[in-house]
Amino acid sequence: MKNLSNVRENLNPINNNTYATRFSSPLPEQQELLKNLEKSIAESTEFFIGYPLNLNFNYTPLIPFFQYLINNLGDPWESGYWYIQDKNIEQQCISWLAELYHLEAEWGYVTSCGTEGNIYGMFLGRELLPDAILYSSKDTHYSIAKAACMLKIPHVVINSQPNGEIDYEHLKQEISKRTNHSVILNLNLGTTMRGAVDRIEPTVDILEKLKIPFYIHCDGALGGMLLPFMETAPKISFQDYPIGSIAVSGHKFFGSPIPYGIVLTRKIYTDKIKHQIEYIGCNDTTITGSRSGLACLFLWYAIMTRGQQFAGEVSTCLENARYLYKRLEEIGYKPFLNDFSTTVVFDKPSIKICQKWQLATQGSLAHIVVMQHLSKMKIDLFIDDLLA
Ligand SMILES: *Cc1c(COP(=O)(O)O)cnc(C)c1O
């Protein structure tokens, strides 16, 4: 003990209080490193158009909260033994999303990312239907296969149509081969590469006709926040359809300096799998233990300050996606743009351009996801680069 306190004294020579932590300033070379890192991230942000992340945000009014740990440990609807949390804010966010998806008697929480929401959806499906087989399309995000692997759920991959949407006929065939097993179905409300939307209605039709118990999880990482704001888009409605859960990423449409996500489900489902934990004084219903209360604040702030503008943001992104499509078509890059999507797919350009603009590629294709920070002016800059 003596040695340890000596070390502390040496690290903090001005500090006389051995109990309170003292902070020393970074050394000059460490400050240099931080400065360079900030510069490089700022520059990379300028040319970041390849992934579905909204970089247009301002949460600086929340800076005072950086002084505290806000940890929403355990179930968001139970307060437990500690008060350094903002679960009331988290509940408001979950309720807002529940209303958006016509979900009454909701349960959900703010996750660490979209992937955790998908893992939660798969977990819940498996707990409710332990004999189930998981079906998802070829174009599904890799987090679903990872969840199947972690949870040891048998997984059947269904063909996709050329636009990236699930092949309903193939889905029906594959399920029909295994009618003695329940079904967990992952539907993509916007696939990662092509932004294709798997339709809820025809798949529910297939499942109900086959009379097999099923659980549907919707992966709405980005599209979960696009579809509700497009008038003609397929509805995401827990009231109209027997869907079980939906996962959305927080750092995608909402935008955030830290990654997070949201998962939403029916309360009756989670009530079946709760475990009371004496140590924290509430139920352990989430995948991770400690959870970011700061993420909840970012989400709440986005909803409160921009909620009324979300429809406008979506329509601007759509308009800019069509503009990008038109400009790429003019110069022979053979673009493709799905309905209800802001993801423009086109012929992969040179490596140099892919690196500068941080484009995601797949085989001979690249894509740009038109988010709130991508203006027509920047699209023109990108096109100029392609022509140069
Ligand atoms: C981005 C994405 C995910 C994963 O989201 P993270 O927040 O990065 O974990 C899942 N599904 C789809 C369709 C995505 O585009």
Predicted confidence (pLDDT) per residue in 361-382, tens digit: 999 999 999 999 999 999 999 9
Q: Is the pLDDT of residue 136 over 60?
A: yes
Q: Say if residue 14's pLDDT is above 70.
A: no
β partners of residue 332: none
**Residue 341 a catalytic site member:** yes
261 lines ligand 1 (CB under 6 A): yes
pLDDT band at residue 359 under the 50/70/90 scheme: very high
Residues sharing a CB contact under 8 Å with residue 364, sequence separation 6 or more, in sequence order:
347, 348
* Average pLDDT score over residue span 294-322: 98
Q: Which of 51, 112, 113, 115 to mutate to test the pocket of ligand 1 (most atoms within 8 A of CB)?
A: 115
The whole-angstrom separation of Cα 44 and Cα 206 is 46
- Pull the structure tokens for residue 127: 């707990």
pLDDT by residue (tens digit) across 162-205? Answer: 999 999 999 999 999 999 999 999 999 999 999 999 999 999 99
176-192 as b/e: b if 16+ CB within 10 A: eeeeebbbbbbbbbbbb
CATH class of 44-58+309-387: alpha beta
Residue 286, pLDDT above cutoff 80: yes
Q: Report the pLDDT value the prediction gives residue 19, as an integer from 0 to 100.
A: 60
CA distance 153 to 151: 6
Single out the catalytic residue among 136, 137, 160, 341.
341
Residue 79 above 50 pLDDT?
A: yes
Residue 225, pLDDT > 70, answer: yes
Domain boundaries, the chain: 44-58+309-387, 65-305
Average pLDDT over residues 69-97: 92
Ligand 1 atom at minimum distance from 189 CA: 13
pLDDT of residue 7: 44
Whether the predicted pLDDT of 274 surpasses 80: no
Residue 17 pLDDT > 60: no
Class of domain 65-305: alpha beta
Q: Is 372 in the pocket of ligand 1 (CB under 6 A)?
A: no
Confidence of residue 23 (pLDDT cuts 50, 70, 90): confident
The C-alpha atoms of residue 172 and residue 158 are separated, in whole angstroms, by 10
Tokens 């959305």 appear where? 248
Which amino acid type is present at position 100? L
> Residue 328: which H helix or E strand, with range?
helix 310-330
Query: Residue 4 pLDDT more than 50?
Result: no
Res. 346 pLDDT band, cuts 50 70 90: very high
Share of the chain above pLDDT 90, in %: 87
Provide the b/e sequence for 145-162 (b: ≥16 CB within 10 Å): eebbeebebebbbbebbe
Centre of ligand 1 to C-alpha 27, Å, is: 38
What's the mean pLDDT in 250-254? Answer: 98
Residues 6+ apart with CB under 8 A from 194: 139, 163, 164, 336, 338, 341, 343, 345, 367
364's tokens: 């001979």
Element (H, E) at 246: strand 245-249
Count of residues for the chain?
388
**CA proximity to 234, closest of 199, 264, 269:** 199
Tokens matching residue 291 = 């959870």
- For ligand 1, is residue 217 a contact (CB within 6 Å)? no
Q: Which of 53, 112, 219 to mutate to test the pocket of ligand 1 (most atoms within 8 A of CB)?
A: 219
Looking at residue 22, what is its pLDDT?
74
Q: How far is the CA of 334 from the centre of ligand 1 (A)?
A: 26
Answer for the pair 195, 201: CB distance below 8 angstroms, yes or no.
Answer: no
pLDDT band of 320, cuts 50, 70, 90: very high
| Contacts of 314 by beta carbon, 8 Å cutoff, 6+ apart | 225, 226, 229, 230
Identify the band that residue 20 occupies on the pLDDT scale cut at 50, 70 and 90. low
pLDDT one-digit tens code per residue, 41-65: 999 999 999 999 999 999 999 999 9
Residue bearing the bigger pLDDT, 276 or 216:
216
- Average pLDDT of the residues in 273-289: 80
Q: Given pLDDT bands bounded at 50, 70 and 90, which one contains residue 81?
A: confident
